[in-house]
Structure 1
C-alpha cells in the first residue's frame, strides 16, 4: 500500500525515482527514454546527464527552457517524434552539446535563434521533415558545426545568409528536396566546406558564381536534377574540387571552358544525359577529356547510344569551323566599319572602300577628271594594269583598289548588257548618259530594277570575296568565287570592247549617212552640166 501511494505521487508530480525520470532507464550519465510513448519531455532529468535518448515517442512540442540546467549534456536524440516547430531558445544553455538528432519528425518551421548558444554543436540532423524554407539566421553562431543534414525535406527556398557564420562546416546535405534554382551567395563564406550534396532536386539552372569562394570544396553532387545548361564560369575558383557528378540530368551540350581551371579534378560523371554529339560545340568536351589525362573516371555517352563522347568522330565540324571563322571575320570587319572602331586591318579595309567609293562615283556620274592629253590608250593601259594586278594578286598601292573597282565594272557591264537599248539611227551619248543617271539613282535610292538587283548581287559577291582575300581565309566557296572573279574581269573587258565597238559603229553609220547625202547631190550637178553646156560669148569667154 505504501509503495502504491509513492508510485501514484511520483506519477502525478513526474518526479524521479532514485535520480532517474519515471519510465526511463539510467545507466551512469546516460538517460534512456526511447520508445516509451511519451508525449512530452520528462522533468527532473539529472544535471549530470551526458546522453539523453527521447527518440520513438509522441512528443509534439518542445517547451522553451525544457532542457535548462543540463550543462553536461553532449548527446540529445529527439528523432522519430511528432515535433512540428522549434521555438527560439529551445536548446538554450547547453554549452556541451555536440550532437543533436531531430530527423523523422514533422517540423515545418525553424525559428531564427532556435539553435543559439550552442557553441560546441558539431553534428545537426534535421533530415526527413517537412521544412520548406531555410530562413536567414537559422544557424547563426554555430561556430563549431561540422555536419549539417537537411536532406529529404520539402525545401524550395534558401534565403541568403541562411548558412552564414558557419566557419567550420565540412559537410552539407541538401539532397532530395524541391530546389529549382540556387542563388548566387547561398554558400558564401563556407570556406571549410568539403562535400556538398544537391542531388535529387529539381534544379534547372545554376547561376554563375554560386560556388564561388568554396576554396576547400572536394566533392560536388548535382546528379538526378533537371539541369539542361551549365553556364560558363559555374565551376570557377574551385582549386580543390576532385569530383563532380552531373549524371542523370538534361544536359545536351557543354560550353567551351566549363571545366577549365580545375587542377584537382579526377572524376567527372556525365552519364545518362542527352548529349547531342551532332552539336559541334560538344567537341570541346572531347578535347578537354583528351587533354586532361589526370581524369581517371570520366563518363559521357552520346544521346541514345552507348558511344562515348571520346570515341565520337567530330570531323564534320572542321569545315564548319573554318566557315564560321571566315563569317566571324566578315562580321567583325562589318561591325568595325559600321561602328567606326577599326583595327589596323579594318583601317585598311576602310581606306579601300573609301577609295573605291570615290572612283565608283566618278565612273557612275561620268564626271571623270579630263586633263589635256588624256587618251583612250592611257585609260586602256590603266585597265590592263589593274586587271593584271587582280589576276596575279600582286597589288601596288594604287592597285589595292582594284578589287572594288572590278565590282563597279561588273555592275556597269551587267546594266549595259541587260539594258537592251534600241540601237536606232541617231542613238547618241545622251542616251548612254541617261542610262548612267538611272543607274546612279538606283544605287543612291537603293530601289533597284531587276537589272540593278543583279548588279547589287554581283557587288555583294565581290564584297564577300574581298573580305576573304583580305583575311586570307578562303573557304572552298571562296576559291570558286576567285574563278568567277577572274571570269567576270575578262567579261568586263569584253563588254568594254563591245561598248567601244558600238561607239565606232555609230560613227561609221553617221559617216555612211553623210556619204549618201553627197551621192544624192552629185548626180544633179552632172545633169545640170549636160543640159546647159558652156556657150561662147560675143566678147569672149563662156557662159557656165
Structure 2
C-alpha cells in the first residue's frame, strides 16, 4: 500500500503553477509526508514487504471508484487542486487521509463539507477565496494535524479548530485580531504561521496564546511595533521580520528561555537594551539585519551557543574586540559559523584580528564597506 501512496504523493508535487500575481511557494507534499511520516497514519499497518499483487485489493478499488468527479484519488489521498472549484466536492470517501484543494475558487467552508472524515490527517486549502468557515466545519476531526489555509480572504481565525492540530498555516489573509479563544485547548500546536496579516500589537488579545506549547511562531509582514510579551513560553523559534519594531528591551524575552532562533530582520530597530540577550541563553541564531542599529548589540559575547548572527545593512560604525567573543575562551561552547557585517559604514580594515577569534574560520565572517550611493 505504501508503495502506491508514494507514487501518488510524487504526482501531487507536480501541481500546476499558482494563479495569483504574488508568487507563492508551492507546498512540497512529498517533503511534508516524509517529515510527518503520514504513511504511518494508515491504521492497517501494512508490511513494506507486501507483494505487489496485494496492492490492488477491493478496499482500494472502492476508494478510487468513489473519487469525486474530476479529482485524482489513490490510497486514501484525494487530489482536487487547480480545478476551478467553487465549493468543496461532495462524497469524499470516508477513509480519506489527505485532501488537496489548493488553487481553486472556493469561497466558503460549510458545516457538512468534511462531515464523516474522521480519519483525515492533512487538509490543504491554500490559495482559494475563502472568507467564511462554519464554526462546526471541523467537528469530529480529531486526527487532523496539518491544516493549511494560507492565501485566502479570512478576516478571523476559524472557530473550534481541532485540538490535536500540529501545524496551522494561515498566512496572507486579512486577519487583524487574534481573539483570546482562538487557540483555546490547542496544546499540541507546534507550528503557527500567521505572516502577511494586518496584525498590530493591540490586535493580540491578552491570553490568546495561553496553554499552548508552540515551538515555531512566525508573524512577519504585519504591523507590530514591539515584540509581543504574551507568546507561548515554549517557543524555540520566533520570526517577526518585516514589521515596524523600533527597539528591543530587557523585558521582551523574559518568557522565552528556550529560544534558539530569532528573526528580527527588516524592522526599524535602533538599539538593543543592555542585558536583553541574557534572557535567551540557548539562542543559536539571531537575525538583526536591515535595521537601524548603530553598534553591535551588547551581550552577544555572553551567548555560549550562538553560531550565526546577521547584522548587515545597519548603521554600525565600529566593532569592538570583545563584541562577539568572550574574554575567556572556554566560556564559548560553539564557534561562530556566520557573522555578517557588510553594508555597514564600519571600516573593516580597522577591525582588530582578535575580534573574530571564536569563529570557525575566516569564511565565517562577511565584511565590506557600506554600498556606494
Q: Kindly tell me: are residues 308 and 152 of structure 1, through their superposed partners in 2, closer, same or farther at Cα, counting changes over 3 Å?
A: farther
Per-residue displacement from partner, 1:491-525 (whole Å, max 9, x unpaired)?
xxxxxxxxxxxxxxxxxxxxxxxxxxxxxxxxxxx
Q: Kindly tell me: are residues 251 and 55 of structure 1, through their superposed partners in 2, closer, same or farther at Cα, counting changes over 3 Å?
A: same
Please report how far the alpha carbon of residue 40 of structure 1 lies from its aligned counterpart in structure 2 after TM superposition.
Answer: 1.3
What secondary structure, in the 3-state scheme, does the structure 2 residue paired with 1:235 have? helix
Q: Kindly tell me: are residues 239 and 56 of structure 1, through their superposed partners in 2, closer, same or farther at Cα, counting changes over 3 Å?
A: same
1:172 paired residue number: 217
Please report how far the alpha carbon of residue 162 of structure 1 lies from its aligned counterpart in structure 2 after TM superposition.
Answer: 2.6
Determine which of 304, 311, 319 is the counterpart of 1:263.
Answer: 304
Q: Kindly tell me: are residues 150 and 36 of structure 1, through their superposed partners in 2, closer, same or farther at Cα, counting changes over 3 Å?
A: same
Per-residue displacement from partner, 1:141-161 (whole Å, max 9, x unpaired)?
222222221123332233332
2:180 paired residue number: 136
Please report how far the alpha carbon of residue 220 of structure 1 lies from its aligned counterpart in structure 2 after TM superposition.
Answer: 0.8
2:145 paired residue number: 98
Please report how far the alpha carbon of residue 240 of structure 1 lies from its aligned counterpart in structure 2 after TM superposition.
Answer: 1.2
Determine which of 168, 184, 194 is the counterpart of 1:124.
Answer: 168
Give TM-score scaled by structure 2 length: 0.68
Determine which of 247, 255, 258 is the counterpart of 1:205.
Answer: 247
Determine which of 141, 147, 159 is the counterpart of 2:191.
Answer: 147
Alignment partners' CA distance in 2, 1:83 and 1:308: 55
Alignment partners' CA distance in 1, 2:249 and 2:117: 44
Please report how far the alpha carbon of residue 274 of structure 1 lies from its aligned counterpart in structure 2 after TM superposition.
Answer: 0.9
After superposition, residues 352-431 of structure 1 pair within 5 angstroms as none
Alignment partners' CA distance in 2, 1:66 and 1:308: 65
| 2:317–2:346 CA contact under 8 A, matched in 1 | no
1:239 paired residue number: 281
| 2:274–2:299 CA contact under 8 A, matched in 1 | yes
Please report how far the alpha carbon of residue 194 of structure 1 lies from its aligned counterpart in structure 2 after TM superposition.
Answer: 2.0
* Greater share of residues in helix: 1
1:222 paired residue number: 264
Per-residue displacement from partner, 1:223-275 (whole Å, max 9, x unpaired)?
111001212332233221111121111012357x5446522223222222112
2:57 paired residue number: none
Please report how far the alpha carbon of residue 213 of structure 1 lies from its aligned counterpart in structure 2 after TM superposition.
Answer: 3.1
What secondary structure, in the 3-state scheme, does the structure 2 residue paired with 1:179 have? coil
1:307 counterpart = 2:307: no
What secondary structure, in the 3-state scheme, does the structure 2 residue paired with 1:36 have? coil
1:60 paired residue number: 107
Per-residue displacement from partner, 1:331-379 (whole Å, max 9, x unpaired)?
xxxxxxxxxxxxxxxxxxxxxxxxxxxxxxxxxxxxxxxxxxxxxxxxx
Alignment partners' CA distance in 2, 1:162 and 1:247: 29
The structure with the larger Rg is: 1
Determine which of 84, 87, 100 is the counterpart of 2:131.
Answer: 84
| 1:209–1:233 CA contact under 8 A, matched in 2 | no
What secondary structure, in the 3-state scheme, does the structure 2 residue paired with 1:134 have? coil
1:289 counterpart = 2:324: yes
Please report how far the alpha carbon of residue 59 of structure 1 lies from its aligned counterpart in structure 2 after TM superposition.
Answer: 0.8
Alignment partners' CA distance in 1, 2:146 and 2:153: 20
Please report how far the alpha carbon of residue 101 of structure 1 lies from its aligned counterpart in structure 2 after TM superposition.
Answer: 1.4
Alignment partners' CA distance in 2, 1:203 and 1:176: 11
Please report how far the alpha carbon of residue 55 of structure 1 lies from its aligned counterpart in structure 2 after TM superposition.
Answer: 1.5
1:30 counterpart = 2:65: no
Give TM-score scaled by structure 1 length: 0.48
Report how many aligned residue pairs link the two structures.
283
What secondary structure, in the 3-state scheme, does the structure 2 residue paired with 1:104 have? coil
Structure with larger RCO (C-alpha < 8 A, sep 6+)? 2
1:274 counterpart = 2:307: no
Alignment partners' CA distance in 1, 2:263 and 2:296: 18
Please report how far the alpha carbon of residue 41 of structure 1 lies from its aligned counterpart in structure 2 after TM superposition.
Answer: 1.4
After superposition, residues 249-260 of structure 1 pair within 5 angstroms as 249-253=291-295, 257-259=298-300
Alignment partners' CA distance in 2, 1:309 and 1:267: 22
Q: Kindly tell me: are residues 43 and 220 of structure 1, through their superposed partners in 2, closer, same or farther at Cα, counting changes over 3 Å?
A: same
Alignment partners' CA distance in 1, 2:188 and 2:93: 26
What secondary structure, in the 3-state scheme, does the structure 2 residue paired with 1:182 have? coil
Q: Kindly tell me: are residues 307 and 182 of structure 1, through their superposed partners in 2, closer, same or farther at Cα, counting changes over 3 Å?
A: same
User: Where does structure 1 lack aligned partners over 5 or more consecutive residues?
Assistant: 1-15, 313-544
Alignment partners' CA distance in 2, 1:239 and 1:309: 30
Q: Kindly tell me: are residues 103 and 202 of structure 1, through their superposed partners in 2, closer, same or farther at Cα, counting changes over 3 Å?
A: same
